A and B are shown apart, each in its own frame.
Chain A
């Protein structure tokens, strides 16, 4: 028995049905459609907050509740939400709430080591197609087993950052000590297992903090734990089914897949909670491998866990080379597949180009290509033609003949670039080098073959453009 797919007609009868126009779609039916696709939330219908709609609002909330619960960790400006998933595969709708990445400190680390780790984590940032990729929080781990030293470490970290926290200890006494100083920050309690679940549930219930449930490799035990803990009134739960490489890998992957499938396709509400991947445990295995090897494994495992639905990931540290592929992968998989892949074809003008001396460049209208080129030339004075390659990158478009002489001729004429510049020289991407002759024949301009990567454009212009009498029209603004 699977949950029937939610349609606008399930929601419409519960809406005010006045078409008051206070929401963006202006009509209640339009609003119902957007609710189904999660484009809008109930809060965006002002009349619904009226007490006379109280009952309907509750029914709507229940109908719209995602099969994978959404859980908040942290408080204030840095609060994050994890989970809230509606689908197993991103192409079915989209994933919500990007996988959150936590790095780890522990209570045996020296103060400066902790400060370094926290600083590296909170300052991690990478600019990527119009936004910045960041890490999400700090997991504080009890290694010593001593409640006082754990509490002290939690206080230290709390004094260093506003980022959300995970408190990590299997010992309820240690956990209580940590919560005592951090529960106002709503940290994730990590984790309840078969041996400590009653006390951990009690701590979660008393503090109002979310709780992770852990049972290595046994989904039946996880269900039993969640059933028992929910009965105690603790509702904000996450699941860590264990995570390992080598011989543990098949089970690790399977558990993630089974849990998410059961939650979404099988309506198993006991498993309808965000998933945790904890590849940091690779560092515990006491092997003699060099750090770089463990980092490599940790990153590979984290990527696999991300693909298999992890909503929260705990890694050791924010080493750039091993963390960047992971954060980019997460960003990629969590972007909205309904968003267009392409940008509008046409002419873009950067800075204040000179009609006589400024270069004319051309690229594809694949969004990622366009934004990459944009970031490389936005400080120059130049013209950029965006050809209609049907959303393909330059190399794919050349191979698939979506970037060809005809497309170039089309954009030259439709953009009116011939009236904007007096010269007749076009710079094509290095990846389209083989089209040089065809393009020259089609547009009767001179064609120069630019660099293969747009990062090379400024250097290329310095070297090649100035040499053909156009200087200094490309210069930096």
Chain B
């Protein structure tokens, strides 16, 4: 009590000596007339002798610190991708993401049960790819299964993402049957969990993705993707064959929520991962970043429709011309391009992304290393070996 009074008097003097204001909380004053006399305060002779204030010149006084640990009522759901033999699939391991109960990498508030993971991106036809990506995979690009194997065997990808872009009626219009047989080949070629995407053409995807779901029955793949204009066939297929749905929304938290609500009418919530769109660095990254932060905080604060783990199509970073342009003034693009993708990924990592889909192994490896340091804090740096892979 003595100390409390001393502290109060000290802070009173400090406040009133300057231009400070005093705010009293939880104090009731009962008085008919209250006189506060400021003139007397400069004196207050008793206090200086009474308070064992360390002389300011005597050195440093440890005044300590209490970290701002808060509690969050909500928790991000855990979602399992891939199914092992024991669970009716053929994957050598499954991957669990989500489970966070604190903001991303607020390690002073708590650690997450699962670390973010990286999926290596492959396509069923060679799309316009930047040079550094081509050089990292060489001839393997011509064969999606070889490309996927390179990701897993050489670059240690946790998952593979195959996008069946050639099924687009305006590209090659590859028939569903042929696209699906490639998926079957991929299941044989690699044993990590799979993400299988369509071309983004809603009519074609509505026919394609249910067939993909069927041939992957038991494998618990991630079907990519359901959108506001085409979600029902994907949701039904995921429900029937026990897969997970990637719910894509265009940098819009309300649409993300609405789509989740629709999907949750068909699916258990732990079969949904959200993709709130990853705009490229320099081309709207900040809008994606803020939507991700808002989604994650809303989930932690208890919004059950936003408690799904989040995925990022980080490969979008390569849409930025700064990533791929041949321009000596911008420096060597075999470093610049992968770093562009990596920088985007780092922003999204700290905004709450749980699953990255990337096209260059250098960035993928950097994210894995950084996640390792943050999760365990002990791993030695390894990723510099992977810069400019293929050179």
Q: Which residues of A contact B (CB under 8 A)?
A: 1, 58, 62, 89-91, 128, 194, 197-198, 219-225, 227-228, 231-232, 245-247, 249-250, 253-254, 257-258, 261-262, 265-266, 270, 289-290, 292-297, 299-300, 303-304, 307-308, 319-322, 324-326, 328-329, 332-333, 335, 337, 341, 366, 368-369, 372, 392-393, 395-402, 433-437, 452-453, 455
User: What's the nearest-Cβ distance from chain A to residue B276, in Å?
Assistant: 11
Q: Which residues of B contact A322 (CB under 8 A)?
A: 331, 335, 339
Taking a contact as CB atoms under 8 Å apart, the answer to whether B64 and A321 are in contact is no
A-B contacts, 17 of them at CB < 8 A, read: A219-B65, A220-B62, A224-B61, A228-B60, A296-B335, A300-B339, A307-B289, A307-B350, A319-B331, A320-B336, A322-B331, A322-B335, A325-B343, A332-B281, A337-B290, A366-B284, A396-B251
Q: A258-B67, A321-B339 are in contact. List 14 more A-B contacts (CB 8 A).
A: A62-B19, A219-B65, A223-B65, A246-B381, A247-B378, A250-B373, A265-B68, A304-B370, A329-B285, A341-B284, A393-B284, A397-B250, A398-B200, A452-B128
Among A228, A293, A392, the residue within 8 A (CB) of B387 is A293
Q: Does B63 contact A (CB under 8 A)?
A: yes
Among B171, B321, B346, the residue within 8 A (CB) of A307 is B346
| Alpha-carbon distance A329/B59, docked complex (angstroms) | 41
User: What's the nearest-Cβ distance from chain A to residue B67, in Å?
Assistant: 5
Q: Does B389 contact A (CB under 8 A)?
A: no
Question: For chain B, which range describes its interface: under 10, 10 to 19, 20 to 34, or 35 or more residues?
Answer: 35 or more
On whether A290 and B384 interact (CB within 8 A), knowing A1-B25, A220-B63, the answer reads: yes
Taking a contact as CB atoms under 8 Å apart, the answer to whether B347 and A329 are in contact is yes
Q: Which residues of B contact A266 (CB under 8 A)?
A: 68
Q: Does B282 contact A (CB under 8 A)?
A: yes
In the complex formed, the residue of A with least CB distance to B289 is A333
In the complex formed, the residue of B with least CB distance to A271 is B65
| Alpha-carbon distance A130/B159, docked complex (angstroms) | 40
On whether A399 and B200 interact (CB within 8 A), knowing A254-B106, A326-B343, the answer reads: yes
Among the interface residues A266, A290, A328, which one has the most CB atoms of the partner chain B within 10 A?
A328
On whether A325 and B281 interact (CB within 8 A), knowing A246-B381, A299-B343, the answer reads: yes
Q: Does B286 contact A (CB under 8 A)?
A: yes
On whether A224 and B285 interact (CB within 8 A), knowing A321-B331, A322-B335, the answer reads: no
| Alpha-carbon distance A225/B370, docked complex (angstroms) | 31
Q: Which residues of A contact B248 (CB under 8 A)?
A: 399
On whether A453 and B339 interact (CB within 8 A), knowing A245-B373, A366-B284, A392-B250, the answer reads: no
User: What's the nearest-Cβ distance from chain A to residue B251, in Å?
Assistant: 7
In the complex formed, the residue of B with least CB distance to A293 is B384
| In the complex, chain B residues 204-263 whose Cβ is within 8 Å of any chain A Cβ | 227-229, 248, 250-251
Among the interface residues B60, B106, B325, B329, which one has the most CB atoms of the partner chain A within 10 A?
B60
Taking a contact as CB atoms under 8 Å apart, the answer to whether B171 and A434 are in contact is yes
User: What's the nearest-Cβ distance from chain B to residue A134, in Å?
Assistant: 15
A-B contacts, CB under 8 A, total: 211
| Alpha-carbon distance A369/B287, docked complex (angstroms) | 14
Q: Does B29 contact A (CB under 8 A)?
A: no
Among A227, A321, A326, A453, the residue within 8 A (CB) of B321 is A453
Secondary structure at the A interface, as helix, strand, loop or mixed, is: helix
Among A197, A254, A303, the residue within 8 A (CB) of B347 is A303
The 6 residue pairs across chains A and B that have the minimum distance between CB atoms: A321-B331, A293-B384, A434-B170, A321-B336, A220-B65, A325-B343
| Per-residue contact bits, chain B 360-391, to A (CB 8 Å; 1 contact, 0 not) | 00000010001001100111110111011000
User: What's the nearest-Cβ distance from chain B to residue A423, in Å?
Assistant: 24
User: What's the nearest-Cβ distance from chain A to residue B355, in Å?
Assistant: 19
In the complex formed, the residue of A with least CB distance to B67 is A258
Taking a contact as CB atoms under 8 Å apart, the answer to whether A300 and B63 are in contact is no
Q: Does B39 contact A (CB under 8 A)?
A: no
Q: Which residues of B contact A262 (CB under 8 A)?
A: 65, 67-68
| Alpha-carbon distance A64/B87, docked complex (angstroms) | 60
Among A320, A329, A402, the residue within 8 A (CB) of B329 is A320
| In the complex, chain B residues 291-342 whose Cβ is within 8 Å of any chain A Cβ | 293-294, 297, 316, 319, 321-322, 325, 329-333, 335-336, 339-340, 342
In the complex formed, the residue of B with least CB distance to A296 is B387
On whether A308 and B350 interact (CB within 8 A), knowing A254-B106, A324-B336, A332-B281, the answer reads: yes
User: What's the nearest-Cβ distance from chain A to residue B356, in Å?
Assistant: 14
| Alpha-carbon distance A400/B65, docked complex (angstroms) | 48
In the complex formed, the residue of B with least CB distance to A261 is B68
On whether A292 and B335 interact (CB within 8 A), knowing A250-B107, A304-B346, A402-B250, the answer reads: yes
In the complex formed, the residue of A with least CB distance to B338 is A296
In the complex formed, the residue of A with least CB distance to B255 is A400
On whether A90 and B65 interact (CB within 8 A), knowing A300-B342, A368-B284, A434-B169, the answer reads: no
Q: Which residues of A contact B105 (CB under 8 A)?
A: 250, 253, 257
Q: Which residues of B contact A299 (CB under 8 A)?
A: 339, 343
Among the interface residues A320, A332, A398, which one has the most CB atoms of the partner chain B within 10 A?
A332
Taking a contact as CB atoms under 8 Å apart, the answer to whether A433 and B325 are in contact is no
User: What's the nearest-Cβ distance from chain A to residue B109, in Å?
Assistant: 9
User: What's the nearest-Cβ distance from chain A to residue B200, in Å?
Assistant: 5
Taking a contact as CB atoms under 8 Å apart, the answer to whether B343 and A258 are in contact is no
On whether A253 and B346 interact (CB within 8 A), knowing A128-B282, A393-B279, the answer reads: no
In the complex formed, the residue of B with least CB distance to A58 is B19
Among the interface residues A91, A194, A220, which one has the most CB atoms of the partner chain B within 10 A?
A91
In the complex formed, the residue of A with least CB distance to B322 is A324
On whether A396 and B340 interact (CB within 8 A), knowing A224-B61, A224-B63, the answer reads: no
Q: Does B201 contact A (CB under 8 A)?
A: yes
Q: Does B83 contact A (CB under 8 A)?
A: no
Taking a contact as CB atoms under 8 Å apart, the answer to whether B250 and A400 are in contact is yes
Q: Which residues of A contact B384 (CB under 8 A)?
A: 289-290, 292-294, 296-297
Q: Does B168 contact A (CB under 8 A)?
A: yes
| Alpha-carbon distance A78/B57, docked complex (angstroms) | 36
In the complex formed, the residue of B with least CB distance to A266 is B68
Taking a contact as CB atoms under 8 Å apart, the answer to whether B332 and A250 are in contact is no
| Per-residue contact bits, chain B 41-70, to A (CB 8 Å; 1 contact, 0 not) | 000000000000000110111111101100
Taking a contact as CB atoms under 8 Å apart, the answer to whether B283 and A320 are in contact is no
Taking a contact as CB atoms under 8 Å apart, the answer to whether A250 and B56 are in contact is no
| Alpha-carbon distance A144/B147, docked complex (angstroms) | 52
Among B63, B331, B373, B385, the residue within 8 A (CB) of A227 is B63
User: What's the nearest-Cβ distance from chain A to residue B100, in Å?
Assistant: 15
Q: Does B94 contact A (CB under 8 A)?
A: no
Taking a contact as CB atoms under 8 Å apart, the answer to whether A335 and B339 are in contact is no
In the complex formed, the residue of B with least CB distance to A308 is B350
| Alpha-carbon distance A258/B374, docked complex (angstroms) | 16
Taking a contact as CB atoms under 8 Å apart, the answer to whether A89 and B290 are in contact is yes
| Alpha-carbon distance A58/B21, docked complex (angstroms) | 13
Taking a contact as CB atoms under 8 Å apart, the answer to whether A300 and B346 are in contact is yes
Q: Which residues of A contact B332 (CB under 8 A)?
A: 321
User: What's the nearest-Cβ distance from chain A to residue B179, in Å?
Assistant: 16
Among B62, B201, B251, B293, the residue within 8 A (CB) of A224 is B62
Taking a contact as CB atoms under 8 Å apart, the answer to whether B347 and A194 are in contact is no
User: What's the nearest-Cβ distance from chain A to residue B203, in Å?
Assistant: 11
Among A249, A258, A397, the residue within 8 A (CB) of B370 is A249
Taking a contact as CB atoms under 8 Å apart, the answer to whether B282 and A455 are in contact is no
User: What's the nearest-Cβ distance from chain B to residue A41, in Å?
Assistant: 20
Q: Which residues of B contact A290 (CB under 8 A)?
A: 384
| Alpha-carbon distance A222/B316, docked complex (angstroms) | 40
